[in-house]
Structure 1
């Protein structure tokens, strides 16, 4: 029959002190309690742990072999107790949040800095990752969550909608379309268009938008990052369609945004692991993000 933790604790104390009296003092219990627990431990083991010799207890061959394993058990107990103390002191309230490069230099720092000001004991960290890499790291526990838009519907993820906004046009301030408050998709059909790599969900949404009007879009340039599209538009290389969350006008002041009639809305979302217990810090972040739609 296996030893329980209390019996191992008494055995360890006797090994360290060499006597029942000293072990009882170390554990702050009575001598008869130590003697009784030690006797039960020997009964469970089926062999003698100590030999009595001139008022002291001398470990047997079996005790010498057993003590290393018992010490390793209590090393783990100490680690667990250390974790408990860290949780009580809130020293581990670090939130690792993944996001794409475009969101990392536009919207996410603002969101998380506001959250940090309201909750100074929680430290958010922004980790730049592609969406698929963020999901993999959420699954492995390296990330607490990820802020993303146009995400695939990963079955193992739970999605919390932060906001929904339509796609819009960006063009140079000197471009004729910049004079309009709203444009139609047909207004864009003969323009030099800066698109995205074909496998990106943003490009697929743009293709679908043009397809609804019986049109197809043939980009003259294809980029991977939304920030690259803004830069090329400012350089006069063409127009582009972007999301409403990654606004780079502070970096590219000669670019303007124009509403597109009938443009689809896309969702900005927080992705977390489905079914995984959420820390108090993550619950606070979810509560904050799902209540700020009007601020974005």
Structure 2
């Protein structure tokens, strides 16, 4: 099968009709019919039975489609990469971040960066780390921010900042003199607002508790650190969250203390191997580093 055969066959399987496949491919119906007939001629067996204007795939076509569908997804990735390479002709910065860092670090960093690069086009997106790796490898993003090192051979991870996991509790939980001082893991409140079991940082907290033969009791489970912080600010309980989200808490409504033993949290800059950053992108990295430092200084002072 030639590449054009594969494209037409895949479209017909999706649409079920010649006219539907023509619309998917933006070509004429006669062109679809001609390619499909040529494909069947080369294969030596029919791919469809034609009944009252509709095409019904033969058993051979059903088996063939399983492999063709995989190849079509690969072709889509190639097209996306080609489109990304074309966009690189004009200077712009494409940054993708996990939602946590997008809300806590990026606003100040982008504001500072814009003072020097007011005209450079910037595209910001949020994804989880697994999707971030895919975007970097496909050339859909120039750089990314995450609290995880994906440890992928095609990705370079550079630490921009580090701080311990932080306990955040409603205002008035601790005397003012204790705010900002380490809280022993053995003194954690019994009932916590926690992240789900598959959260990497949450798992590290659970492992630390297990090492001290402590049971981590969670009366509320949430999907994001931002939601945990908001619940704490409204008096719904205490939580152990990343230091960057903790730093954005309203000091009038929440108190923060680093957890001990220390569970370090790294802010990683992720880039694809052999993909140098532009001047404006490198300056944005500097602004991100400065914003992270200011964020952590604020939480220590609070």
TM-score, L = length of structure 1: 0.62
Distance 1:194 1:142 in 2: 35
Contact kept, 8 Å, 2:109 with 2:287, in 1: the verdict is no
What SS is found at the alignment partner of 2:146? strand
In the alignment, structure 1 residue 279 sits paired with structure 2 residue 278: yes
Shift of 1:100: 1.9
Distance 1:270 1:291 in 2: 13
Question: How many residues of Structure 1 are paired with residues of Structure 2 in the alignment?
Answer: 207
In the alignment, structure 1 residue 221 sits paired with structure 2 residue 236: no
Aligned in 2, Cα 1:278/1:231: closer, same or farther, shift over 3 Å?
A: closer
Q: Which residue of 2 aligns with 1:114?
A: 112
Q: Which residue of 1 aligns with 2:64?
A: none
Aligned in 2, Cα 1:245/1:178: closer, same or farther, shift over 3 Å?
A: same
Structure 2, unmatched stretches of 5+, are 1-85, 296-302
In the alignment, structure 1 residue 201 sits paired with structure 2 residue 200: yes
1:154-182 deviation digits (Å, cap 9, x = unpaired): 22211121111111110001324776333
Distance 1:208 1:177 in 2: 28
Aligned in 2, Cα 1:209/1:107: closer, same or farther, shift over 3 Å?
A: same
Aligned in 2, Cα 1:284/1:233: closer, same or farther, shift over 3 Å?
A: closer
Distance 2:196 2:176 in 1: 25
1:169-209 deviation digits (Å, cap 9, x = unpaired): 10001324776333211111x52111111111111121122
What SS is found at the alignment partner of 2:256? strand
Q: Which residue of 2 aligns with 1:266?
A: 265
Q: Which residue of 2 aligns with 1:234?
A: 233
Output aligned runs, 1:1-296, within 5 Å: 92-176=90-174, 180-181=178-179, 182=181, 183-188=183-188, 190-246=189-245, 247-250=247-250, 253-289=252-288, 294-296=293-295
Shift of 1:292: 6.4
Contact kept, 8 Å, 1:164 with 1:265, in 2: the verdict is yes
Shift of 1:227: 0.8
1:122-161 deviation digits (Å, cap 9, x = unpaired): 3333212122112211111111111111343222211121
Shift of 1:293: 5.9
TM-score, L = length of structure 2: 0.61
Distance 1:290 1:98 in 2: 16
Distance 2:263 2:137 in 1: 30
Shift of 1:108: 1.0
Distance 1:275 1:147 in 2: 18
What SS is found at the alignment partner of 1:125? strand
Distance 2:203 2:244 in 1: 18
Root-mean-square deviation (CA, aligned residues, Å) is: 2.6
Aligned in 2, Cα 1:232/1:248: closer, same or farther, shift over 3 Å?
A: same
1:228-262 deviation digits (Å, cap 9, x = unpaired): 10122123322101111123324x74111123232
Contact kept, 8 Å, 2:166 with 2:257, in 1: the verdict is yes
Distance 2:103 2:291 in 1: 19
What SS is found at the alignment partner of 1:163? strand
Q: Which has the higher helix share?
A: 2
Contact kept, 8 Å, 2:110 with 2:287, in 1: the verdict is no
